[in-house]
């Protein structure tokens, strides 16, 4: 994305901010409405051209979004309006028309259902429409269109209004790389927010199916531009630089297969719309994204939603919240009312045989002593393959939250049935302690943490994970739990415990419980001399006390 496009996007957000639309979630949603209307107009032009080329016998008009009587709702027909006429027409006519296309274009209708134009000032709306009209999306590649929305979403990263903030890219890309999704895998996020995990999983797949994927730092391409460096030079200078790959995916044989494999649910309609637009701009027009409450029997889930199984599940669900017992789904493997336990239960229940899940959890879930905590961990350890527990630094979600978190990576056995009793305690659980994630853990600058690319354990984690995966998860890297390392040893980042050890500890999954210790270094002094010095000091103390006693008695 070039600097002119970035400046245009900055102008749009500045215009909205000055016009009173100051909540980032709201103004991203409002921009997404208008971008969608512009995209649909460009799509209509493309359909008209195809219809003319194919001739009347192709009945091209039947596939148009705006048949003749509805042409007035097209972007190109109303974008020249101004003042109250513009605002009222978009609000009272365009939005309702789009929401009415339930049979013709159900996804568009769902997107605009209950949509409200919150840009009240008609002059502000006119300025934003003019700026968006200057972007020819049809001429932009999918990667650039995706970057446009990702750039807008950075504004969410500077706000935690209404509890909405995004999982940092370094954590998302780490989790996606660990699960390594491929074309044909069904991919699901039960609390998808803006769609970050889904987008990263898609980009991971596209890079796999690209002839020449591009390697990008987690800080973005602009970071390299500012340093005036190539990615090769940056990696040579900073061996711990974390990167991810992007590509056009030109080798993908069936784009429809990719689109059909993406599933996301969020309880917020605003978030659902933002996630859908994020996917549309990344070239995924037909993703299965919907608004519903994943945890509730009365939250809008269909029978298909409840029974569908997924190969890859990635999520950072909300930790706070307690649901009424009557509303909670009856099919979950926990009777808790706590949302963090319920979401983990959702993921466990929804995994297909052989499928893998990665979820961010509050550290309290790893060691909580309630019956619900222990029982859910027992099921996770005994009935699933718990592949890894990754301990994250306390500052990962600063400045929005300081809660200590971890990532659980687990797999449903390929057979799809519970492990037999003999196998339950034979496995191993791998622990990795991420002490640095590429950002300063203490400082806050410009609404976020300053970059520290020279301090990032995640590339090492992914290297060790690759070796672990190569062994088919039979030989976890690092040393055995609670090993006493020789004095002077370097503090280890990874270790493993047997499932039997974990079971003996009430299925406690806190990494620190099993962390190897380093023996204290023996003193260099001669022990004989130390004893003599101690006796000498004691004689001096005794002499002093006897002298004091004599003075008191006199």
Contact 437, 170 (CB under 8 A): yes
Q: Is the pLDDT assigned to residue 376 strictly greater than 90?
A: yes
Q: What is the distance, to the nearest Å, from the Cα of residue 220 to the centroid of all Cα atoms in its chain?
A: 16
As given in the structure block, the two tokens for residue 282 are 């990344």
Angle of helix 269-281 relative to helix 196-208, nearest 10 degrees, comes to 20
As given in the structure block, the two tokens for residue 315 are 């999520």
**What are the backbone dihedrals phi and psi of residue 148, each rounded to the nearest 5 degrees, phi first?**
-60, -50
327-345 pLDDT tens trace: 888 888 888 888 999 999 9
123-167 pLDDT tens trace: 999 999 999 999 988 888 777 888 888 788 877 664 544 445 578
Lowest-pLDDT choice from 121-130, 363-372, 418-427 = 418-427
491-548 pLDDT tens trace: 899 999 999 999 999 999 999 999 999 887 766 677 788 788 889 999 999 988 888 8
Q: Which pLDDT band holds residue 61 (cuts at 50, 70, 90)?
A: very low
Q: Is the pLDDT assigned to residue 417 strictly greater than 80?
A: no
Q: What is the distance, to the nearest Å, from the Cα of residue 539 to the centroid of all Cα atoms in its chain?
A: 66
Q: In what order do the strands lie in the sheet with 385-391?
A: 288-291, 262-266, 187-189, 310-315, 351-362, 405-411, 385-391, 428-433, 494-498, 479-480
Q: Residue ranges of the alpha helices (H) in 351-427? A: 363-367, 371-383
Q: What pTM does this model have?
A: 0.85
428-433 vs 494-498, strand pairing mode: antiparallel
More confident residue, 487 or 78: 78
Cα(112)–Cα(97) distance, rounded to whole angstroms? 9
Q: What is the DSSP letter of 523?
A: P
Preceding omega of 399 cis (within 30 degrees of 0)? yes
Look up tokens 């391409």; give the residue.
221
Number of helices (H) and strands (E), helices first, in the chain?
Answer: 21, 16
Residue range 389-410: average pLDDT? 85
CA-to-CA dists, residue 48 to 51, 129, 239, angstroms: 5, 23, 52
543-553 pLDDT tens trace: 888 888 888 87
Cα(9)–Cα(75) distance, rounded to whole angstroms? 19
10-42 pLDDT tens trace: 999 999 999 998 888 888 899 999 999 999 999
**Of 171, 159, 160, nearest to 436 (Cα)?**
171
CA-to-CA dists, residue 335 to 322, 370, 512, angstroms: 12, 11, 27
Alpha-carbon torsion angle 464, 466, 472, 473, nearest 10:
30
Contact 143, 34 (CB under 8 A): no
Cα(171)–Cα(181) distance, rounded to whole angstroms? 16
Lowest-pLDDT choice from 53-57, 274-278, 487-491, 504-508 = 53-57
400: burial class by Cβ within 10 Å (0-12, 13-18, 19+)? middle
Residue range 110-117: average pLDDT? 92
Cα(275)–Cα(292) distance, rounded to whole angstroms? 14
H-helix or E-strand spanning residue 260:
helix 255-260
What whole-number percentage of the chain has pLDDT above 70?
A: 92
Angle of helix 269-281 relative to helix 142-153, nearest 10 degrees, comes to 150
Contact 275, 249 (CB under 8 A): no
Contact 413, 181 (CB under 8 A): no
As given in the structure block, the two tokens for residue 405 are 């978190």
Q: Is the pLDDT assigned to residue 423 strictly greater than 60?
A: no
278-299 pLDDT tens trace: 898 888 888 899 999 999 887 8
Q: What is the distance, to the nearest Å, from the Cα of residue 112 to the centroid of all Cα atoms in its chain?
A: 25
Q: Show the beta-strand stretches assigned E in 281-420.
A: 288-291, 310-315, 351-362, 385-391, 405-411
Residue range 444-462: average pLDDT? 87
Q: Is the pLDDT assigned to residue 198 strictly greater than 70?
A: yes
Buried b (16+ CB within 10 A) or exposed e, 156-192: bbebbeeebbbbbbbbbbbbbbbbbbebebbbbbbbb
**Quick one: three-class SS letters along 468-487?**
HHHCCCCCCCCEECCCEECC
More confident residue, 401 or 219: 219
Contact 143, 246 (CB under 8 A): yes
Contact 388, 409 (CB under 8 A): yes
Q: Which domains does the chain have, with CATH numbers?
A: 3-140 (1.20.1260.30), 156-517 (3.40.50.150)
**Of 116, 138, 119, 108, nearest to 38 (Cα)?**
138
Alpha-carbon Rg for the chain in angstroms: 29
Q: What is the pLDDT of residue 522?
A: 66
**Of 14, 46, 16, 4, nearest to 135 (Cα)?**
4
State the average pLDDT for the chain: 88
Q: What is the DSSP letter of 448?
A: B
Q: What is the pLDDT of residue 67?
A: 83
Q: Which pLDDT band holds residue 188 (cuts at 50, 70, 90)?
A: very high
Q: Is the pLDDT assigned to residue 262 strictly greater than 70?
A: yes
Indicate the SS3 state at residue 503: helix
As given in the structure block, the two tokens for residue 303 are 């029978």
Q: Is the pLDDT assigned to residue 189 strictly greater than 80?
A: yes
Longest CA span, the chain: 127
Contact 320, 370 (CB under 8 A): no
More confident residue, 378 or 148: 378
Cα(466)–Cα(298) distance, rounded to whole angstroms? 41
**Of 373, 381, 358, 389, nearest to 512 (Cα)?**
389
Q: What is the pLDDT of residue 419?
A: 59
Lowest-pLDDT choice from 121-135, 210-224, 266-280, 387-401 = 387-401
Length of the chain equals 554
Cα(514)–Cα(179) distance, rounded to whole angstroms? 24
């Amino acid at each position: 994305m070039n600097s002119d496009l970035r400046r245009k996007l900055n102008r749009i957000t500045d215009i909205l901010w000055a016009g009173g639309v100051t909540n980032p979630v709201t103004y991203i949603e409002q921009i997404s409405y208008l971008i969608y209307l512009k995209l649909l107009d460009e799509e209509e032009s493309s359909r008209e051209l195809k219809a003319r080329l194919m001739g009347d016998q192709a009945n091209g008009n039947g596939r148009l979004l705006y048949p003749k009587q509805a042409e007035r709702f097209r972007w190109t027909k109303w974008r020249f309006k101004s003042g109250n006429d513009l605002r009222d027409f978009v609000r009272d006519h365009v939005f309702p028309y789009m929401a009415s296309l339930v049979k013709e274009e159900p996804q568009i209708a769902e997107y605009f259902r209950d949509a409200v134009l919150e840009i009240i000032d008609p002059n502000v709306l006119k300025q934003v429409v003019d700026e968006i009209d200057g972007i020819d999306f049809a001429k932009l590649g999918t990667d650039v269109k995706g970057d446009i929305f990702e750039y807008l979403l950075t504004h969410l990263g500077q706000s935690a209004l209404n509890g909405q903030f995004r999982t940092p890219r370094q954590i998302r890309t780490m989790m996606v790389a660990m699960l390594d999704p491929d074309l044909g895998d069904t991919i699901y996020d039960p609390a998808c927010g803006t769609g970050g995990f889904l987008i990263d999983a898609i980009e991971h797949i596209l890079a796999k199916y690209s002839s020449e994927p591009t390697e990008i730092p987690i800080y973005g391409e602009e970071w390299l531009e500012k340093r005036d460096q190539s990615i090769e030079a940056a990696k040579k200078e900073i061996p711990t630089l974390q990167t991810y790959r992007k590509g056009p995916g030109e080798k993908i044989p069936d784009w429809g297969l990719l689109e059909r494999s993406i599933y996301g649910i969020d309880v917020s309609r605003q978030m659902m719309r933002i996630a859908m637009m994020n996917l549309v701009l990344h070239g995924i027009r037909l993703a299965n994204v919907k608004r519903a409450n994943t945890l509730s029997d009365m939250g809008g889930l269909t029978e298909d939603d409840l029974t569908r199984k997924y190969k890859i599940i990635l999520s950072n669900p909300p930790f706070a919240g307690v649901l009424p017992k009557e509303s909670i789904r009856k099919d979950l493997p926990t009777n808790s009312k706590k949302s963090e336990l319920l979401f983990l239960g959702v993921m466990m229940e929804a995994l297909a045989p052989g499928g893998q899940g990665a979820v961010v959890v509050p550290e309290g879930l790893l060691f909580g002593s309630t019956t619900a905590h222990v029982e859910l961990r027992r099921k996770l350890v005994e009935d699933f393959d718990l592949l890894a527990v990754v301990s994250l630094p306390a500052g990962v979600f600063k400045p929005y939250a300081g809660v200590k978190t971890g990532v659980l990576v687990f797999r449903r056995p390929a057979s799809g049935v519970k492990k037999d009793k003999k196998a339950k305690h034979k496995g191993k659980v791998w622990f990795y302690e991420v002490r640095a994630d590429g950002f300063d853990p203490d400082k806050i600058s410009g609404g976020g943490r300053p970059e520290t690319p020279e301090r990032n354990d995640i590339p090492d984690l992914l290297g060790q994970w690759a070796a672990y995966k190569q062994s088919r998860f039979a030989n976890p890297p690092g040393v055995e739990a609670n090993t006493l390392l020789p004095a002077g040893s370097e503090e280890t980042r990874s270790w493993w415990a047997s499932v039997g050890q974990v079971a003996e500890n009430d299925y406690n999954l806190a990494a620190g419980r099993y962390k190897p210790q380093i023996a204290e270094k023996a003193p260099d002094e001669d022990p004989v001399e130390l004893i003599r010095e101690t006796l000498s000091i004691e004689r001096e103390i005794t002499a002093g006390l006897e002298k004091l006693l004599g003075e008191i008695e006199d």
